[in-house]
């Protein structure tokens, strides 16, 4: 019948759009995807606000072959909720495509995203290059993709948004069937950890991508009342305590004086 992919925005239950809320009210099944980003409030608060039961959707449930979300959407109305914007820095186009292939009527409702909220730093969105993701280093796996992307962007004078890893433990089928299941607290990469990893790569590669002149912006909990934006050198920002998740990091390219004027507010 129908699938509505609804973006929730960056903060709490009140950030959903009026149109998104209308879809939720009309839906028989409501799924909440919780592994690509994290809402500030828990599932119970959302359920109270919607007056409806919410099913947590793990990565396996969304991306696996045996997809109960699409099975339900064949004969019922389904709302699939995503934190931030559903198609910004997430991989939900696969679910969208599969719904289309099954002839399920599919609607998308957008919302604020980390990709646009960073405009508040004063950095012009037009001057960002490729976005990159940083994953936690393992003893035998230390990917350098973020360093290469920053190198490419800064060579072209462009800013780089680095999204920082979220590691969510995959729940079992029994966990998901349990109405009172609360997902384990995910592991979040902090701005400090992200910068330390970049410094470690710089030490190994020595391409002078990250140095004492590099200007960075750390943003934490953007779009939320206690958000923090901090601008400075790598060591200034690395030693600042940003508090709880979520964190992102921006490595600045060439700065226009208008950008510098706004950034000065966050020194």
Ligand X SMILES: C[S@@+](CC[C@H](N)C(=O)[O-])C[C@H]1O[C@@H](n2cnc3c(N)ncnc32)[C@H](O)[C@@H]1O
- Which residues contribute to the site for ligand X (CB under 6 A)? 10, 36-37, 83-85, 88-90, 113-115, 163-164, 166, 219-223, 246-248
Q: Are strands 132-134 and 105-109 parallel, antiparallel or unpaired?
A: unpaired
In the complex, minimum distance from the CB of residue 113 to ligand X, in angstroms, rounded to a whole number: 3
Of 98 and 247, nearer to ligand X (C-beta) is 247
Of 36 and 197, nearer to ligand X (C-beta) is 36
In the complex, minimum distance from the CB of residue 56 to ligand X, in angstroms, rounded to a whole number: 17
Of 84 and 122, nearer to ligand X (C-beta) is 84
Of 153 and 212, nearer to ligand X (C-beta) is 153
Cα torsion for 119, 135, 186, 159, to the nearest 10°? Answer: -10
Compute the 3-state secondary structure of the chain and give helix, strand, coil in percent, each to the nearest 5. Answer: 35, 20, 40
Of 67 and 248, nearer to ligand X (C-beta) is 248
In the complex, minimum distance from the CB of residue 61 to ligand X, in angstroms, rounded to a whole number: 17
Of 10 and 158, nearer to ligand X (C-beta) is 10
- In the β-sheet with 29-33, what is the strand arrangement from edge to edge? 55-57, 29-33, 77-82, 2-7, 105-109
In the complex, minimum distance from the CB of residue 83 to ligand X, in angstroms, rounded to a whole number: 6
Of 24 and 81, nearer to ligand X (C-beta) is 81
Instruction: Tell me which residue of 133, 130, 121, 112 sits closest to 256, measured CA to CA.
Output: 121
The CA distances from residue 199 to 147, 160, 237, 248, in Å, are 9, 16, 13, 16
In the complex, minimum distance from the CB of residue 161 to ligand X, in angstroms, rounded to a whole number: 9
Residue nearest to ligand X (CB): 84
Q: Which residue has the tokens 């646009």?
A: 116
In the complex, minimum distance from the CB of residue 157 to ligand X, in angstroms, rounded to a whole number: 24
Tell me phi and psi for residue 85, to 5 degrees: -110, 135
In angstroms, the CA 147 to CA 221 distance is 24
In the complex, minimum distance from the CB of residue 185 to ligand X, in angstroms, rounded to a whole number: 14
In the complex, minimum distance from the CB of residue 236 to ligand X, in angstroms, rounded to a whole number: 18
SS3 at position 138: strand
Of 82 and 234, nearer to ligand X (C-beta) is 82
In angstroms, the CA 160 to CA 150 distance is 6
For 167-209, give the DSSP string: E-PPPPHHHHH-TT--PPPPEE--HHHHHHHHHHHHHHH--SS
> Can you name the residues that pair with 216 across neighbouring β-strands?
232, 251
């Amino acid at each position: 019948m129908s699938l509505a992919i609804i973006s929730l925005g960056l903060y709490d239950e009140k950030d959903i759009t009026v149109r998104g809320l209308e879809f939720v009210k009309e839906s028989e099944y409501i799924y909440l995807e919780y592994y690509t980003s994290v809402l500030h409030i828990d599932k119970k608060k959302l359920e109270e606000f919607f007056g409806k039961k919410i099913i947590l959707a793990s990565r396996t449930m969304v991306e696996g072959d045996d997809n109960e979300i699409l099975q339900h959407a064949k004969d019922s109305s389904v709302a699939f909720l995503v934190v931030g914007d559903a198609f910004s820095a997430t991989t939900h186009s696969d679910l969208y495509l599969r719904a289309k292939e099954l002839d399920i009527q599919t609607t998308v409702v957008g919302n604020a995203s980390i990709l646009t909220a960073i405009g508040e730093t004063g950095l012009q969105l037009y001057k960002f290059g490729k976005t990159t993701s940083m994953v936690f280093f393992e003893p035998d796996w230390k990917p350098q993709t973020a360093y290469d992307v920053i190198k490419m962007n800064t060579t072209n004078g462009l800013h780089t948004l680095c999204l920082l890893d979220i590691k969510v433990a995959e729940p079992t089928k029994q966990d998901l069937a349990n109405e009172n299941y609360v997902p384990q607290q995910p592991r979040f990469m902090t701005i400090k950890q992200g910068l330390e990893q970049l410094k470690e790569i710089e030490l190994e590669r020595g391409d002078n991508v990250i140095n004492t002149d590099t200007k960075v912006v750390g943003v934490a909990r953007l779009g939320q009342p206690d958000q923090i934006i901090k601008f400075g050198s790598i060591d200034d920002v690395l030693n600042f305590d940003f508090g709880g998740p979520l964190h992102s990091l921006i490595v600045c390219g060439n700065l226009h004086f208008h950008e510098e004027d706004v950034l000065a507010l966050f020194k």
